[in-house]
């Protein structure tokens, strides 16, 4: 066999270039589109049909159904999409991913876009060195596009020639003569290959090349395409492993949808393939079955000349090359059409059963009450799909974080009214538990944001990450003060000292103001940074001034009361400590709100 280990490494390297080009192009497109992708997903999913169109458009734009599906799973995880909406978007993504096969079929065989790859890279260089993030992302998009087709061209040239290496054909023929058994075998091969490569588009490219080189008959290549539709669901399922219940359900729905499609396609496999062949013939492209028989009639020397773009051919060889290229195009078109028709029919059939799929996955993955007790609700280490998207997820988690710390403050307040030592001990234990959870949440959210900051972000998003990190720190400080408040109340109880009715009323007034400040902070957190009104910030600042004024008033009154011996000094210590902790919480709340004001100003300046 003349195929060496060096040739094999060249094949793997070509595949790597193809994959890297696709990844770079996809990331560049996502960054250029930026917020528009998120807006499309959240706005255009109001009904099932629009969900399908949305999934199709986004996958067509970013050229990766896996990226779209992981993005959708992330949105479900963040509570931005319902399960039913997610399923319809995933259906559309399955159709959108077939565009890659059509691009390869149109430009990868009869036209050599690889010849334009280096000029495209040359054009992209000025964009790459631009200080503007959008232009830099556009440069990455161009390089990704160039590398994708350069890798595809190298992939075609690195695949061993069957005439030169008949052992390969003999090996494959051992598995092509089992009829329907061969179909199932190559379906399994397509599934495994997609799982390994982690890209159905890359596996589709490999399948197209294998078929165009005469390795596989059209039907077995079609079986591999079906397998790729199952293998592509693995990415989303892996991403959903550490996510919440809703995200795992969305990933499972993707698998169920594709597996069901493969089942009906297998039942109608041979009629379906024949229908595709007839349709390609009607379109004037020829039969996809002709390529295998044609390659067997061409001797190795002539085949080498036909595959050499620099070879000088005589008129007879030119005619043969034209026939050979036409047969390649017919086969690649047939596979692309098979891929598209399979997904279009599957989506059309299953669109009416979205509700049933949602119910099925809900039954298979039930919600457990303990599921979210010791973990983050909206973000997790394993589901960082895109850096831009991660900001939305972190924003939702910060909202949850703030609510948990407000609950902690309310528990600490209830300790002030505990009737006996046993009740006080139980309440204090709850505060301690919440403090531990708050500390862990701060660390996990900060780690997540730091990881997002290492990714590809626009300048605005980088500033948002910095703002969110500060917000997380300030909210955790609210939890610390709530814990300190609880400790002070326990110290007061252990001292056995009672407050006068006037002192209790003062503490309650301070609690009331802090409650108002926390409620206003939640209003600010619930608003989008770019849409926040000055009024809500002014309200928070006014409440904080009231808290400071009350603190100063109580400080003066406390000095007077102690001097007049209305209560002992040791009683005043815990009393003023409680007032001080409430005032600190007011300061932390204002820091959160001011950070949002600063971010809003930055957005305004950009506009």
DSSP for 209-269, written as a single string: HHHHTTSS-HHHHHHHHHHHHHHTHHHHHHHHTTS-HHHHHHHHHHHHHHHHHHHHHHHTH
Could you give the dihedral angle defined by the CA atoms of residues 558, 562, 566 and 567, in that order, rounded to the nearest 10 degrees?
A: 90
State mean pLDDT over 40-58: 73
Top mean pLDDT of 51-55, 139-143, 259-263, 535-539 is at: 259-263
Confidence of residue 511 (pLDDT cuts 50, 70, 90): very high
**pLDDT at residue 373, rounded to an integer:** 45
Is residue 368 scored above 80 in pLDDT?
Answer: no
Give the three-state DSSP class for 314: coil
* Strand ranges for 98-146 from DSSP E: none
pLDDT above 50 for 108:
yes
Q: What is the mean pLDDT of residues 356-380?
A: 68
Contacts of residue 470, Cβ cutoff 8 Å, sequence gap at least 6: 591, 595
Q: Is it the case that residue 162 has pLDDT exceeding 50?
A: no
Closest alpha carbon to 200 in 372, 26, 405: 26
**Average pLDDT of 485-504?**
88
| pLDDT tens sequence across 269-284 | 999 989 988 988 888 7
Q: Give me the mean pLDDT over the 452-465 stretch.
A: 71
Higher pLDDT, 130 or 292: 130
Report the pLDDT averaged over residues 410-432.
90
> What long-range pairs does 132-139 form, CB within 8 A, spacing at least 24?
133/31, 133/458, 133/459, 134/31, 134/32, 134/458, 137/28, 137/31, 137/32, 137/456, 138/28, 138/32, 139/28
Q: Is the pLDDT of residue 469 over 60?
A: yes
How sure is the predictor about 299, in pLDDT bands with cuts at 50, 70 and 90?
confident
pLDDT at site 607: 44
Which range (249-258, 496-505, 558-567, 592-601) has the least confidence? Answer: 592-601
Q: What is the pLDDT of residue 209?
A: 76
Compute the average pLDDT of residues 30-56: 68
- Band (pLDDT 50/70/90 cuts) for residue 70 is low
Round to whole Å and give the CA distance between 483 and 478. 9
Q: Are 64 and 201 in contact (CB under 8 A)?
A: yes
**Cβ neighbours around 236 below 10 Å, total:** 29
Which pLDDT band holds residue 421 (cuts at 50, 70, 90)?
A: confident
Most confident of 5-9, 64-68, 167-171, 350-354: 350-354
- Residue 371's pLDDT band, with cuts at 50, 70 and 90, is very low
For 231, counting Cβ atoms within 10 Å of its Cβ (0-12 exposed, 13-18 middle, 19+ buried), the class is buried
Q: Whose CA is closest to 141, among 60, 38, 26, 37?
A: 26
Of 69-78, 103-112, 555-564, where does the model show the most confidence? Answer: 555-564
Class of domain 386-606: mainly alpha
Distance of CA 86 to the CA centre of its chain: 12
Instruction: Give residue 599's pLDDT.
Output: 63
Task: Give the model's pLDDT for residue 370.
Answer: 44
According to the model, what pLDDT value does residue 388 have?
59
Using DSSP's 3-state secondary structure scheme, residue 149 falls into: helix
Instruction: Note the pLDDT of residue 384.
Output: 46
C-alpha 39/C-alpha 20 separation (Å) is 27
* CA neighbor of 513 nearest in space, from 432, 439, 575, 590: 590
Which range, of 34-38, 206-210, 577-581, averages the lowest pLDDT? Answer: 34-38
Q: Which of 38-47, 367-376, 546-555 has the lowest mean pLDDT?
A: 367-376
What pTM does this model have? 0.58
Please state which of the ranges 129-133, 385-389, 491-495 shows the lowest mean pLDDT: 385-389
**Mean pLDDT, residues 372-387 taken together:** 52
Look at residue 406 in the predicted model and tell me its pLDDT: 92
Q: How far apart are CA 92 and CA 516, in angstroms?
A: 45
Give the relative orientation of helices 117-128 and 133-158 as an angle to the nearest 10 degrees. 160
> Taking 90 as the threshold, does the pLDDT of residue 483 lie above it?
yes
Check if the beta carbon of residue 202 is closer than 8 Å to that of residue 22. yes
pLDDT score of 98 = 80
pLDDT value for 191: 87
Q: What percent of the chain has pLDDT over 70?
A: 77
Q: What is the DSSP letter of 159?
A: S
Across 139-160, average pLDDT: 75
How confident is the model over 564-601, as pLDDT tens digits?
888 888 888 999 999 999 999 999 999 888 887 776 55
372 has pLDDT over 50: no
State pLDDT tens for residues 521-569.
888 887 654 444 555 678 888 888 999 999 999 999 989 988 888 888 8
What does the pLDDT average to over 50-65?
A: 75
- Rounded mean pLDDT, 415-443: 88
Domain spans in the chain, listed from the N-terminal domain onward? 5-364, 386-606
Radius of gyration (C-alpha) of the chain in whole angstroms: 32
CB atoms within 10 A of CB 1: 9
Read off the tokens for 308.
């050499």
Mapped onto helix, strand or coil, the DSSP state of residue 279 is helix
44-53, 516-525, 561-570: lowest mean pLDDT where?
44-53
Range with lowest mean pLDDT among 122-126, 422-426, 453-457: 453-457
**Residue 571: what pLDDT?**
87
Report pLDDT for 2: 59
Give 86's Cβ-side CA count (13 Å radius): 29
What does the pLDDT read at residue 174? 66
């Amino acid at each position: 066999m003349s195929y060496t280990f060096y040739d094999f490494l060249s094949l793997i390297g070509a595949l790597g270039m193809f994959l890297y080009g696709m990844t770079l192009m996809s990331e560049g497109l996502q960054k250029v589109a930026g917020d528009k992708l998120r807006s499309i997903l959240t706005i255009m999913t109001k009904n099932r049909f629009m969900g399908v169109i949305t999934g199709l458009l986004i996958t067509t734009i970013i050229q990766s159904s896996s990226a779209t599906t992981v993005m959708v799973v992330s949105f479900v995880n963040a509570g931005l999409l319902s399960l039913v909406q997610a399923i319809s978007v995933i259906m559309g993504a399955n159709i959108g991913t077939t565009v890659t096969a059509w691009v390869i079929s149109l430009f990868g065989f009869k036209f050599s876009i690889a010849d334009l790859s280096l000029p495209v890279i040359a054009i992209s260089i000025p964009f790459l060195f631009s200080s503007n993030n959008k232009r830099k992302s556009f440069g990455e998009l161009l390089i990704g596009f160039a590398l994708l087709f350069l890798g595809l061209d190298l992939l075609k040239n690195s695949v061993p020639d069957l005439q030169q290496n008949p052992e390969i054909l003999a090996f494959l023929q051992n598995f092509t003569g089992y009829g329907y058994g061969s179909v199932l075998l190559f379906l399994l091969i397509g599934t495994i290959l997609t799982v390994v490569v982690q890209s159905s588009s890359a596996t589709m490219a490999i399948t197209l090349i294998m078929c165009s080189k005469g390795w596989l008959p059209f039907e077995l290549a079609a079986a591999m395409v079906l397998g790729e539709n199952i293998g592509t669901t693995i990415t989303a399922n892996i991403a959903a492993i550490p996510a919440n219940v809703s995200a795992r359900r969305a990933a499972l729905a993707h698998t169920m949808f594709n597996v069901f499609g493969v089942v009906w396609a297998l039942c109608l496999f041979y009629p379906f393939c024949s229908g595709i062949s007839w349709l390609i013939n009607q379109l004037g492209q020829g039969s996809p079955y002709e390529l295998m028989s044609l390659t067997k009639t061409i001797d190795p020397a002539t085949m080498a000349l036909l595959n050499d773009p620099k070879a000088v051919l005589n008129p007879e060889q030119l005619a043969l090359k034209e026939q050979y290229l036409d047969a390649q195009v017919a086969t690649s078109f047939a596979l692309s059409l098979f891929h598209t028709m399979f997904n279009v029919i599957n989506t059309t059939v299953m669109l009416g059963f979205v509700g049933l799929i949602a119910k099925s996955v809900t039954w298979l993955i039930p919600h457990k009450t303990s599921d979210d007790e010791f973990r983050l609700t909206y973000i997790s280490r394993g589901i960082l799909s895109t850096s831009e998207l991660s900001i939305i997820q972190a924003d939702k988690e910060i909202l949850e974080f703030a609510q948990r710390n407000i609950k902690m403050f309310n528990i600490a307040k209830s300790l002030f009214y505990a009737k006996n030592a046993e009740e006080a001990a139980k309440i204090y234990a709850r505060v301690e538990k919440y403090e531990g959870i708050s500390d862990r949440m701060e660390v996990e959210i900060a780690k997540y944001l730091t990881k997002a900051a290492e990714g590809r972000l626009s300048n605005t998003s980088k500033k948002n990450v910095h703002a969110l990190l500060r917000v997380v720190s300030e909210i955790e400080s609210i939890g610390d003060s709530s814990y300190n408040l609880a400790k002070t109340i326990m110290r007061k109880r252990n001292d056995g000292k009672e407050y006068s009715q006037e002192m209790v009323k003062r503490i309650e007034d301070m609690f009331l103001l802090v409650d108002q400040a926390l409620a206003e902070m939640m209003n600010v957190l619930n608003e989008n940074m770019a849409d926040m009104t000055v009024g809500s910030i002014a309200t928070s600042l006014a409440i904080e001034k009231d808290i400071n004024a009350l603190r100063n008033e109580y400080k003066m009154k406390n000095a007077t009361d102690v001097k007049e011996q209305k209560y002992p000094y040791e009683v005043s210590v815990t009393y003023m400590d409680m007032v001080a902790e409430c005032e600190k919480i007011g300061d932390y709340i204002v820091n959160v709100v001011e950070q949002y004001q600063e971010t809003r100003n930055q957005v305004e300046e950009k506009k």
